[in-house]
Amino acid sequence: MHSTVPRSRIRKEFLLSCARHAARHLEHGFGQLTFVLVTDRKMARLHREYSGIGGTTDVLTFDLTEKDSKGIEGDIYICLDQARRQAADLKIPLYREVARLAVHGVLHLAGFSDKTETGRDQMRRLEDLSLAAGGRRQ
């Protein structure tokens, strides 16, 4: 995991354990997944450049899988500033919200979509399962 944000309080092993659990939903397994923590400013730039939408967002996922690859590869950008706000709103530790966003990105790589209420509910259930499984491995 790479962070462009100094001193971020993230439990890397928890995040990776949760992400590995979520990666079980990847049809062809996974190759290299990179998690990048960024600030609001960087995320807003990425959001505008790749989605055409102004302002920040919590997570952006980029599928980098090559045609003949044996597993899904991708970059998952997580906005640490937005994660802090969401964690405060939910009254949960920051490391759990960042792990949830990492899992959310993995699920997008697996083909899940949150464009509908049904899709959002399905993704939320899978996020909860992955967070619970990741916590058991601590």
Strand stretches in the chain, DSSP E:
2-3, 30-38, 59-63, 72-79
Helix (H, G, I), strand (E, B) or coil at 109: helix
Helices (H), ranges, 30-74:
40-51
**pLDDT for the residue 66:** 87
Where along the chain do its domains lie? 2-133
What is the residue-level pLDDT of the chain in tens, covering all 138 positions?
444 555 667 888 889 899 989 988 877 777 888 999 999 999 999 999 999 999 999 999 999 988 877 788 899 999 999 999 999 999 999 999 999 999 999 999 989 999 999 999 999 999 999 999 987 754
d(CA 86, CA 58): 9
**Beta-bridge mates of residue 30:** 72
> Which homologous superfamily is 2-133 in?
Metalloproteases ("zincins"), catalytic domain (3.40.390.30)
**pLDDT for the residue 16:** 87
Helix (H, G, I), strand (E, B) or coil at 84: helix
